[in-house]
Structure 1
Amino acid sequence: MGRSIALIICLAVAFALAWANERTPSPAPANAPATTFSAARAMADVEVMAKEPHPIGSPANAAVREHLVRRMTALGLSPQVQRTSVLRHRGDLAVGGVVENVVGVLPGRDRASPAVALMAHYDSVPGSPGAADDAAGTAAALEIVRAFKAQGAPARDVVVILTDGEESGLLGAQAFFDQHPLAARIGFVINMEARGGAGRAQMFQTGPDNAGTIALLKKGSVAPAASSLTVFMYEQMPNDTDFSVPRAKNISGLNYAFIGGQFDYHSPTSTPANLDKGSLQHLGQETLAAAREAAFAPALPAKAPNLVYANTFGGHILAYPPAIGWAVLALAAILFAVGIVRARSRGALPWLDMLKGAGAALYAVSLAAVIFRLARRATGAGFGYFEQRDLLAQAVRWEVALALLAIGALAMAAAAVGRGRTRLAGAAFVLGLGAACSLFGTLDTPGLVLGGFGAALALLSFGRPASVAGAWAGVLLTGFAAAIALQILAPPTAFLAAWPLTLATLGAALTALASRRNLPQLAVLAVLGALGVSWLLAFGHGLYLGLDLPELLAAIVWLAALLLWPLAQPGEDQKGARLAAMAVILLGVAAVGIVRLDPPWSARHPQATHLAYYVDTARGLSWRISDMPRLPHWTQGVLTSDGGKAQKLSLPFLRRGDTWAAPARAVAAAPPTVALARETGGRLRLSILPPPGARTLLVSAKTSAALAGVAVNGRPAKLLGKAGSSAKIYWEVPAEGLTLTFASAAPGTIEVDYAAVLDQWPADAAPLPPRPADLMAFGTSGATYVGGARRFSW
């Protein structure tokens, strides 16, 4: 009973500490001291910028730009608008357009020193006011400059770069760092972003050789949230922000974002009212602190090899060179050895039990992974941003369900090895869960593999009961194996295993591997467990927010087991442990049932709908389309209101391969004008001129001959260099059209599909009826796509 009470108290304290650590600070009022960051002051700019959606090239974006010019003029930054065209490549896709960055300078005492840049983007995606992404970052930059001016002249210039076209492919940042004369003077960049509307601001990316940068971060931060694990993981992902551009040019810096409340990401609900003011405060106070260190210091941080670093407690960051990770593991090994020796002196450590403990730890991982996978599939939500929106709308209760399942899985594994005689039951349980993953759709091979692996571990580990000391020692050995592997293969991530392992081995040394679970020893284990698990929960919460892969949370369950095992494993004579574990799992199952069966849609969390008009002038056909995986009743009715039947079609340039479409009546829609001409010197020029009012031009080209010297609106493009190759070009703000010039040594053909996007419903189409309060128009809903196809030869 003492063990159970200690475990409950430990978990309660751990979750309470984790919750407290993840809370955002209270927003500072408008009358806060002048040299500090005030979310209330910054919100005045957010309110202006996020009145309505303002994508690149829109009249609303022009209004935001004018506001920024006025504000930066009032701050003494002498702003200029950098209007230019730019082109970026990614394989056979080129994105470009005309951007209008707003750039200003707060002069420093030494105008020749490398400058510090504050960067954020002011454009939004279509359909979203963008209060978080990225009006919050833009407003924070202005508030930071105001605080700097109140403090006095910085040591070096501070350049404010408010980019345009980030949402279209980092166009503004590319234009600044490629073309602006100030770019050569930038020595340090602080970028501010958001992927949601709440949560603490994470410093999730640095420039290369970051030792000096991390020293600056440690010195200046107020309540930082940062780790080398986050940086390592982000670099393995295909995601980009404006910071990617200067980082590719070897410029040092820090990249910040908050990612909680992801329901509001790129959503119409990203309004000033829904933005967490505490998130804005945390973003602003952290970036102000870092920017102040960089701007007022005699020198910018020097480059040196990357460090391993992470938060500990109380806003402290522990950082060290990767090689020191071996010293951390050596300390853990010494503490483990002390625990082994003390336990052996008491005759409490049968060696075979260590193998059972290692198997039980791996069983806990496989059980947690398969139960998380089953729960995710059982929610009924598909995989993808739009498919999972019903989970984002109820993020708290979905996370609670996973937490209950995690506790139950760990308790079940510990009870099985402690009580013993559960080989067949343990194997059947995890194997059944793995097989059940296939009940929700197609055959689920990963679920079957996880279930089979867990079943094999149960058969090997759950025979005769194992001692607590022996089993815990085996669990810790799995920690050593993983920490050593990470230290060799990915040193920036090794701390995630090494630090909890060191804390756990400290408990093992102090309690002789929990060979006597009296009150003082239980207290020591509970305190160390609460500290370590609360620290791990922050990473678990980050994984939960960042990736829709709940199976990965099994790693957090296993790391928590390093600390909790001696409290979780019952003695051989203790009854009811398996029933208690199953009860917790059933609570998690009930929570998953609520997630699936209780629709989350409301006026605050409305269901996303999309409706647009698609006119194919080449074939003389029109459709009403919905680029969403599921169709609410309202959408189905409007989609088929012209008498056509909804079906899945493959239409060019839409997000999905197959899009819901229903035949619609013809409307007056002028298509782009397309022509091929030969220039002086033999080069060919393909010209595409969109109709008036088009904000985006989408082009797909396929050529039968190899093309040379390809350029898009005069900018070199590495496209269509091989016979039979194809490419896509997306061009924003195409008032002057798109021109593709090239040379060809042989006769050939080029096939061109094209579409212009107009942010308006056709004037002669029946207007869209009002949406219910629990539905919202998303993305390009209400737009008109006017396209066609041509084939030219030479």
Structure 2
Amino acid sequence: MGRLVALIAALVLGVALAWWTQQPPRPAEGRPADRFSAEAALVDVRAMARRPHPVASAENARVRSYLLSRMAAMGLEPQVRSGTGLFTRSTPQNLQVSAAPVQNILGVISGRDRSAPAVLLMAHYDSVPNSPGAADDAAGVAAALEIARVIRAQGAPARDIIILLTDGEEAGLLGADAFFRRDPLARRVGFVINMEARGSAGRVHMFQAGPQNAGAIALLREAAQRPSANSLSGVIYRHMPNDTDFTRAMEAGLPGLNFAFISRQFDYHAPTSTPANLDAGTLQDMGDQVLAAARVAAFDEALPQKGPDQVYAHLFGDLLIAYPPAAGWLVLGLAAGLIAFGFVRARRAKALAWREALQGAGAALYLLFTAVALLHLARAGTGAGFGWLEQRGLLAQPGRWELAIGLVALGTLLFTAAELARGRRLPAALLSAGAGLGAAVLAGKPDVVGLGAGAAGAVLAAIAFGRPAARSGGWAGVLLVGLALALAAQIAAPEAAHVVAWPLLAAGLAAAATSTAARRSYAALGILALVAVLSLGWLGALAHLMHQGLDMPELVALPLLLAAFSLWPLAQPAEGAPGWRGIGPALMIAGAVIVIVIRLQPGWTARTPQVAAVVYHLDQDAGRAFRVRTADASSPWTDAVLRADGGTPAPHDSWAFWGKPPAAPATLVTAPAPDLRLTAADNGALRLLATSAGGARVLTLRIRPNTALALARVNGAPVGQQLRPGAWNTIRWEGGPAPLELILQPAGPGALDVRYSMLVESWPAQARPLPPRPAGAMAFDNSDSTVITGTRRLSW
């Protein structure tokens, strides 16, 4: 009974500790001179995030005027740095370009040494269409201004502090491109701090450090204002397609720190990203952490120097541990020594049998594969598709979904430990195989992940659960698997190996102190419970971040296995303890019930409305018009919109849309076409000038040359990319009425096929108006807009 009490206490306190570490601080009251005030920053957020303000929009200009006035009142002597921002992606098949005229805003806090490398404090002030952008990134801009106020109140810093508010980030990091690649002021920068968001709540994380980050991490450790950082996030982010303005700073070789918050992701790029839905505690956390780092960078005698990348992670409170990757071998060696000490003592006490240790190792691997299969089944059971829009039903109820994952995961651990004690193959094998088959049935097709993990778990059950194993042997096997995993991680990814090595080290301490669970005293139980609480608290926070950052609940199986390093001696009952056997299945059943509730109740409310994205498509070549549903989310409202002109929805086959979205014929309206002119330029080049019409903010050209052709410049910004004959290349210009100028360098006479698409961010006035949208639906991305398409052929 004492062990069961210790287990329950460890689970409750460990989860509570994990929850506590992920709570943002309380907002500061008033406006203290030496502290960041979320209350003051929210005033700026409310002023900026009244309406969507994408690049080159009238609302974007209003926000810019507000910021210029605000910064001038602060004495920052703001200026607008205009230019063309570019984002290019080249493949052997084609070229994709995003561009816009950007208006970066710059202010300076003068330092004592104006010639010293400056600190750059950066955020972007544009939003995506149809989102006010209170979190992304009005929160970052407001934080930058409030941080500037506090720094100015402390007197002149050692060096200049440049506040850079970029434009066009959402269109492809365009303002950062214009600054870091073409603005001469960028050469004065010595250290960069960027602020971003992918949600509207939660803790703020320093998730990406610049190249050769030893100095930057040392600065973060010195600042240490309840930081949240882990080098694992940098390793993961490095392999993801996501980017922020900080990417351009890293490409320029600048050191720095990148901060963001990602909880409540339903609001990311959504109409619900309003000032009212932005968590004030999260804004306080952003200000506290960034101000602490910026203050050190501003007032220290020297900026951080580059050095080899570090392993780093926050434990609890202000404690941030960092060391060179090679030092990970010392951590691993210490863990191995402690585990070996515990094994030797257990063998002397005749409590540890190697056969049982091998069974424990098999049980640990069974836990990993079965958890993957069950979590994969749970994801399939929700009925939500995969993709940013498809998973919104889960984002609408994040707490419920995370609770289901946690219950299934912990239930799997307790079931595995209990079955190892009982020594029965069949229940364990059926659970794993059934999970894999269930995922395949729900998917309606062969499922490699589910079937593979389920089959592996069933085989391991047959090998490991043939006879009962004692607790010491079972735990020893789990620790041996941990040692092998830590060794592999240290070899393959030393910057991330601490995620395995630290929990293993904690478990090694417990193994040595309790001689691998052979001691049966209350003191031994207390040690096991304490280590389990700390490990679960740290790993629970890590699992929470993994769950939020990636729609892959199967990954939670890894921190579950790591938690087993310390939980196992409490989780495995003595042989023949029937009272324990039902705990794991009960937790798994509870998680399954929640999954069923999620499937039956998607969670659409006025606070979390369903995506409803429709556009009016005018095909000027065919002289036809369509009502198109651009998001894969049907509802009575979208169905009514498509049928409003009496048409029947059918797949819409048009180059202007992804896939073949449903569409119905619409009443034809008239609209002007863009003005496309191809003329001769200097040195045998061609000049293609494209001007949108009808109030369009976005003009997209798809161009296909029939001869060798190079795209030399876009609105004066150099590109220098060859365009393959016969291939379609895309240039997206978010410039509003400003013309798009392409300088092309042909190899000889030829022709250019041009497909144009203009986006007018309003429904046509002549068309039948959209019906009132219900409270449980929201206009997402470019919904309620007009898309005008056509083709031209230009020759020279």
By the TM > 0.5 criterion, same fold? yes
Q: Provide, for residues 211-247 of structure 1, a one-character-per-residue CA deviation record: whole Å limited to 9, x for no partner.
A: 1111110111211000111111111111100011111
SS of the residue 1:5 aligns to? helix
Q: Confirm whether residue 331 of structure 1 aligns to residue 302 of structure 2.
A: no
Partner of 2:145: 142
Shift, 1:517, TM fit: 3.2
Q: Confirm whether residue 700 of structure 1 aligns to residue 699 of structure 2.
A: no
Q: How does 1:245-324 map to 2 (within 5 A)?
A: 245-324=248-327
Partner of 2:6: 6
Q: Provide, for residues 670-695 of structure 1, a one-character-per-residue CA deviation record: whole Å limited to 9, x for no partner.
A: 12122333446543333322104211
SS of the residue 2:113 aligns to? coil
Q: Confirm whether residue 175 of structure 1 aligns to residue 174 of structure 2.
A: no
The one-letter amino acid of 1:128's match is: S
Selected match of 2:622 from 619, 622, 627: 619
The answer (yes or no) to whether the contact 2:711–2:722 under 8 Å persists in 1 is no
Q: Provide, for residues 229-276 of structure 1, a one-character-per-residue CA deviation record: whole Å limited to 9, x for no partner.
A: 111111111110001111111101110000001010001010010000
Q: Provide, for residues 15-61 of structure 1, a one-character-per-residue CA deviation record: whole Å limited to 9, x for no partner.
A: 11111111110011223x21110000101100100011111111111
CA separation in 1, counterparts of 2:653 and 2:421?
A: 57
Shift, 1:580, TM fit: 2.1
Shift, 1:333, TM fit: 1.1
CA separation in 2, counterparts of 1:490 and 1:166?
A: 31
Shift, 1:763, TM fit: 1.1
Partner of 1:58: 57
The answer (yes or no) to whether the contact 2:711–2:742 under 8 Å persists in 1 is no
Selected match of 2:133 from 130, 137, 152: 130
The one-letter amino acid of 1:781's match is: S
Q: How many residues align?
A: 791
Partner of 2:29: 29
Q: Confirm whether residue 17 of structure 1 aligns to residue 13 of structure 2.
A: no
CA separation in 1, counterparts of 2:506 and 2:241?
A: 34
Partner of 1:112: 115
Partner of 1:589: 592
Selected match of 1:667 from 666, 669, 672: 669
CA separation in 1, counterparts of 2:499 and 2:485?
A: 10
The answer (yes or no) to whether the contact 1:29–1:41 under 8 Å persists in 2 is no
CA separation in 1, counterparts of 2:29 and 2:52?
A: 27
CA separation in 2, counterparts of 1:410 and 1:157?
A: 54
Partner of 1:344: 347
The one-letter amino acid of 1:431's match is: A
Q: How does 1:448-467 map to 2 (within 5 A)?
A: 448-467=451-470
CA separation in 2, counterparts of 1:668 and 1:787?
A: 12
Q: Provide, for residues 491-519 of structure 1, a one-character-per-residue CA deviation record: whole Å limited to 9, x for no partner.
A: 11000000000000111001111123332
SS of the residue 1:651 aligns to? coil
Q: Provide, for residues 593-645 of structure 1, a one-character-per-residue CA deviation record: whole Å limited to 9, x for no partner.
A: 11111231111111111111111101112111121112111111012101111
Selected match of 1:477 from 476, 480, 494: 480
Partner of 1:783: 785
Q: Confirm whether residue 154 of structure 1 aligns to residue 189 of structure 2.
A: no
The one-letter amino acid of 1:17's match is: L
The answer (yes or no) to whether the contact 1:651–1:659 under 8 Å persists in 2 is no
Partner of 1:446: 449
SS of the residue 2:86 aligns to? strand
SS of the residue 1:456 aligns to? helix
CA separation in 2, counterparts of 1:95 and 1:299?
A: 38
Q: Provide, for residues 330-362 of structure 1, a one-character-per-residue CA deviation record: whole Å limited to 9, x for no partner.
A: 111111111011101110111111111111001
Partner of 2:634: 631
Shift, 1:771, TM fit: 1.0
Selected match of 1:760 from 759, 762, 782: 762
Partner of 2:76: 77
CA separation in 2, counterparts of 1:748 and 1:432?
A: 62
SS of the residue 2:673 aligns to? coil
Shift, 1:441, TM fit: 2.9
Q: Provide, for residues 531-568 of structure 1, a one-character-per-residue CA deviation record: whole Å limited to 9, x for no partner.
A: 01110011100001000000011001100111111111
**Runs (5+) with no aligned partner, structure 2:** none
Selected match of 2:168 from 165, 173, 180: 165
SS of the residue 1:697 aligns to? strand
CA separation in 1, counterparts of 2:242 and 2:36?
A: 29
The answer (yes or no) to whether the contact 1:98–1:734 under 8 Å persists in 2 is no
The answer (yes or no) to whether the contact 1:720–1:726 under 8 Å persists in 2 is no
SS of the residue 2:12 aligns to? helix
Shift, 1:469, TM fit: 0.8
The one-letter amino acid of 1:184's match is: R
The one-letter amino acid of 2:45's match is: V
The one-letter amino acid of 1:177's match is: F
SS of the residue 1:493 aligns to? coil
The answer (yes or no) to whether the contact 2:55–2:100 under 8 Å persists in 1 is no
Shift, 1:666, TM fit: 0.4
CA separation in 2, counterparts of 1:339 and 1:539?
A: 28
Partner of 2:496: 493
Shift, 1:753, TM fit: 1.2
Flag as ranges the 4+ runs of structure 1 deviating above 4 A: none
CA separation in 1, counterparts of 2:378 and 2:539?
A: 22
CA separation in 2, counterparts of 1:344 and 1:459?
A: 27
Partner of 1:427: 429
Partner of 2:660: 658
Shift, 1:720, TM fit: 4.3
User: RMSD of the TM alignment (CA)?
Assistant: 1.3
Partner of 1:38: 37
The one-letter amino acid of 2:513's match is: L
The one-letter amino acid of 1:83's match is: S
The one-letter amino acid of 2:261's match is: F
Which shows bigger deviation, 353-362 or 592-601? 592-601
CA separation in 2, counterparts of 1:445 and 1:498?
A: 30
Shift, 1:424, TM fit: 2.5
CA separation in 2, counterparts of 1:2 and 1:595?
A: 36
The answer (yes or no) to whether the contact 1:668–1:762 under 8 Å persists in 2 is no
SS of the residue 2:467 aligns to? coil
The answer (yes or no) to whether the contact 1:686–1:740 under 8 Å persists in 2 is yes
SS of the residue 1:243 aligns to? helix
Q: How does 1:508-519 map to 2 (within 5 A)?
A: 508-519=511-522
Q: Confirm whether residue 199 of structure 1 aligns to residue 225 of structure 2.
A: no
CA separation in 1, counterparts of 2:652 and 2:722?
A: 27
SS of the residue 1:587 aligns to? helix
The answer (yes or no) to whether the contact 1:96–1:731 under 8 Å persists in 2 is yes
CA separation in 2, counterparts of 1:743 and 1:162?
A: 35
SS of the residue 2:103 aligns to? strand
SS of the residue 1:789 aligns to? strand
Q: Provide, for residues 402-456 of structure 1, a one-character-per-residue CA deviation record: whole Å limited to 9, x for no partner.
A: 0000111111111111110x21221122111101102223321211111111011
The answer (yes or no) to whether the contact 1:628–1:660 under 8 Å persists in 2 is no
SS of the residue 1:30 aligns to? coil
Shift, 1:205, TM fit: 0.7
CA separation in 1, counterparts of 2:655 and 2:266?
A: 28
The one-letter amino acid of 1:713's match is: N
The one-letter amino acid of 1:182's match is: L
The answer (yes or no) to whether the contact 1:672–1:787 under 8 Å persists in 2 is no
Partner of 2:413: 410
Partner of 1:560: 563
The one-letter amino acid of 2:12's match is: A
The answer (yes or no) to whether the contact 2:627–2:666 under 8 Å persists in 1 is yes
Selected match of 1:726 from 718, 725, 728: 728
Partner of 1:384: 387
The answer (yes or no) to whether the contact 2:56–2:100 under 8 Å persists in 1 is no
CA separation in 2, counterparts of 1:225 and 1:679?
A: 54
The answer (yes or no) to whether the contact 2:84–2:716 under 8 Å persists in 1 is no
| Shift in alpha-carbon separation, 1:561–1:191, aligned structure 2, 3 A | same
Selected match of 1:365 from 368, 382, 400: 368
The one-letter amino acid of 1:786's match is: I
CA separation in 2, counterparts of 1:61 and 1:256?
A: 24
